[in-house]
Structure 1
Amino acid sequence: MLKIGLFGVGHLGKIHLSQLATMKDVEVTGYFDPSDANAEGVQAQHNLKRYTSAEELILASDAIDIVAPTTQHFKLCEMAIRNGKHVFVEKPMTNTMEEAKLLVKLVEEANIKFQVGHVERFNPAFLALKGHDLKPMFIEVHRLAEFNPRGTDVSVILDLMIHDIDIVLSIVKSSISRISASGVAVMSDTPDIANVRIEFHNGCVANLTSSRISLKKMRKMRLFQKDAYIGIDFLDKKTEIIKLKTPADEGLFTLDIETNAGKKTIAIANPEIKQSNAIRMELEFFRDSILENKPVEVNVIDGFQALEVAHQILQKIGKGQSE
């Protein structure tokens, strides 16, 4: 039985708790949260011990799940790692790049499992593309959300766009050559809407737009590659592939179109979407990585690289606003 201690029982922390509490081979040791408002109802619903010392909860656990404010991530991660405990930490994994560099060093020197909570990696619409040859040369992303005061302690880059940064970096097998960015703070003290262009050395270009002041929700990614278009709807859990037909595409819906090069036949596929709970799945992967001693799905380097790009974007925006 894997004993997991939970740090943070706010909105997302309560979701984590509800999943951990019903997970096979997992025992929730207890939780730590200095906020009485956050803790309200947890004791009655889950009958868990509320720890008043972060170190005591770490020492009583085999692993910890950190869903605390980002400013607390490094301190809790460091304490757990130095005590030989496995760590799951929500994105972004640290508040600053200095903390991120130290954390990478700590993880690489320790014999522990460390997973970063980039939950969109476990979105059913994205998982449906496993096994498909993804080699995009242009990527367009829109992640729009309605305004919610919760989460505005960080910019829209670290709050929303970092999801898509991580996905793009996992797909494009090339280093970044250039980043352009613009953003505006509308409702909070940090950018609430931003547009970013990431250029890769292999020629791929990713155009990302994120907003937390939209009137409607949207989480869509479009991939354009040689002979194919791939659409991913992270919100509605839908995926479609439109490509030039090959002999292997028999049985798919096809459509003939006239082009300057003559008639082309395109095939339209909707990969099977296996409905699942992405948060539960990422926590199960973390559990299995410990119990079965296998690699985590989103490791400390993945978390570091997404955070590094996010901070480069913030620097570009800050420089642009100061000019």
Structure 2
Amino acid sequence: MSDVLEKQVRIGVAGAGVFGRNHANKIKANPRATLVGIFDLNAERAVALATEMGTKAFTDLSMILAEVDALIVATPAIAHGGVARAAIDAGKHCLVEKPLAATAADADILCQHAAERGVVLQAGHQERYIFQAMGLLELEERPLLLEATRVGLPSNRGADVSVTLDLMVHDIDLARLLFRSEPVSIKATRLAGKPENPDAVEAVLTFEGGGEARFFASRAAEERDRRMTIGYTGGEVAIDFIAKSFRDGPDFGLHPDFATRIPDPMGAATADFIAAILGERAVAISAADGAAAVRIAEAIDTVTRA
């Protein structure tokens, strides 16, 4: 890692879709990073995004890995495990968009290989930065009840995995942060889509200590809706992620200006990833946390098929 300290971090992006473009823009905007190139198995897509970003296109993963210090994995979710494992086994640091992998087994393999090779593996749960900006992560009190709705319009993006892994996984990660424990029971129902790949799911998780989380996620709706209500002994914190507003019912002294405190969560994640690579801080969003969210999402999907 010492040679990395003497120069900018050379980062590549795997995946030439919407998230690949977003991540490429964040790399280009960071003065401590160099965007080495874009990898995609589809040559036309790789060339198009690489041309837009003023960088090189790759259709061979081994070729881009030979030129980078780190890789951001923004491929379809089904490929996260394989692409990230190849990068890690090549000694490259990785930031993997959520979900960390499409299965809990693959997520655990990534964690194990990253630890064995001493590389940074950061999970792409960027919405944590929003909670941090609100001040929610500083609260000592654990919630009694959390209710989350995450609804999107019909789209092919993310459809390679269940809506649980595609959308609900965000709220699973946030709930684990707030309850600071693991679920001890899961109830879930598939509301739309195929049993092996549902498009709408509701789930109820009971956490250690008795707290309860109720999730609803859908990618088959007519309009977007992303809200969360968190109940404490003194009242409710109500968040509207689309309107970027919330109500601090218990009067915890949370920050109503959270949207201006963290205007660019993905950019913040990129900066933290680079800082971890350079040894300046611990990994901001650990691979273990990313794997835990995948494990819970997989358990929910298993219940919906029962």
Q: Can you list the C-alpha shifts for 1:251-274, whole angstroms capped at 9, x where unaligned?
A: xxxxxxxxxxxxxxxxxx663222
Q: Can you list the C-alpha shifts for 1:193-215, whole angstroms capped at 9, x where unaligned?
A: 11100001201010111111122
Secondary structure at the counterpart of residue 72 of structure 1: helix
Matches within 5 A, 1:224-263: 224-243=231-250
Secondary structure at the counterpart of residue 202 of structure 2: strand
Q: Can you list the C-alpha shifts for 1:130-187, whole angstroms capped at 9, x where unaligned?
A: 4333410111111111111222111110110000000001111223210000013348
Does the 8 Å contact 1:220/1:232 carry over to 2? yes
Residues 307 and 187 from structure 1, CA distance in 2 versus in 1: closer, same or farther, beyond 3 angstroms? closer
Partner of 1:282: 269
1:73 maps onto 2:58 in alignment = no
Name which of 280, 291, 305 aligns with 1:293. 280
Percent identity over paired residues: 26
Runs (4 or more) in structure 1 with deviation over 4 Å come to none
Partner of 1:142: 149
Counterparts of 1:188 and 1:44 in 2: how far apart (Å)?
Answer: 40
Residues 15 and 89 from structure 1, CA distance in 2 versus in 1: closer, same or farther, beyond 3 angstroms? same
Matches within 5 A, 1:137-216: 137-186=144-193, 190-216=197-223
Does the 8 Å contact 1:126/1:234 carry over to 2? no
Q: 1:39 offset after TM fit, Å?
A: 2.5
> Any stretches of 5+ residues in structure 2 without a counterpart?
1-7
Higher mean Cα deviation, 232-241 or 304-313? 232-241
Does the 8 Å contact 2:111/2:121 carry over to 1? no
Q: 1:41 offset after TM fit, Å?
A: 2.9
Partner of 1:309: 296
Counterparts of 2:139 and 2:73 in 1: how far apart (Å)?
Answer: 33
Partner of 1:264: none
1:24 maps onto 2:31 in alignment = yes
If the length of structure 1 is used for normalisation, what is the TM-score? 0.86
Residues 116 and 275 from structure 1, CA distance in 2 versus in 1: closer, same or farther, beyond 3 angstroms? closer
Which AA in structure 2 matches 1:128?
M
Q: Can you list the C-alpha shifts for 1:225-264, whole angstroms capped at 9, x where unaligned?
A: 111311122222212211279xxx8xxxxxxxxxxxxxxx
Higher mean Cα deviation, 76-85 or 53-62? 76-85
Counterparts of 2:141 and 2:243 in 1: how far apart (Å)?
Answer: 21
Q: 1:40 offset after TM fit, Å?
A: 4.8
Partner of 1:219: 226
Secondary structure at the counterpart of residue 243 of structure 1: coil
Residues 205 and 16 from structure 1, CA distance in 2 versus in 1: closer, same or farther, beyond 3 angstroms? same
Residues 297 and 224 from structure 1, CA distance in 2 versus in 1: closer, same or farther, beyond 3 angstroms? same
Does the 8 Å contact 1:7/1:66 carry over to 2? yes
If you compute each CA radius of gyration, which structure gives the higher value, 1 or 2?
1
Does the 8 Å contact 2:47/2:56 carry over to 1? no
1:57 maps onto 2:53 in alignment = no
Secondary structure at the counterpart of residue 199 of structure 1: strand
Q: Can you list the C-alpha shifts for 1:89-127, whole angstroms capped at 9, x where unaligned?
A: 11111122221222221122221111011121123x652
Counterparts of 2:105 and 2:80 in 1: how far apart (Å)?
Answer: 13
Counterparts of 1:275 and 1:87 in 2: how far apart (Å)?
Answer: 23
1:127 maps onto 2:149 in alignment = no
CA RMSD of aligned residues (A): 2.0
Name which of 81, 96, 99 aligns with 1:92. 99
Secondary structure at the counterpart of residue 191 of structure 1: strand
Counterparts of 1:132 and 1:183 in 2: how far apart (Å)?
Answer: 33
Does the 8 Å contact 1:180/1:313 carry over to 2? yes
Secondary structure at the counterpart of residue 30 of structure 2: coil
* Structure with greater helix percent: 2
Secondary structure at the counterpart of residue 192 of structure 1: strand
Residues 95 and 189 from structure 1, CA distance in 2 versus in 1: closer, same or farther, beyond 3 angstroms? closer
Secondary structure at the counterpart of residue 174 of structure 1: coil
Counterparts of 1:293 and 1:221 in 2: how far apart (Å)?
Answer: 33
Counterparts of 1:21 and 1:117 in 2: how far apart (Å)?
Answer: 18
Q: 1:189 offset after TM fit, Å?
A: 6.6
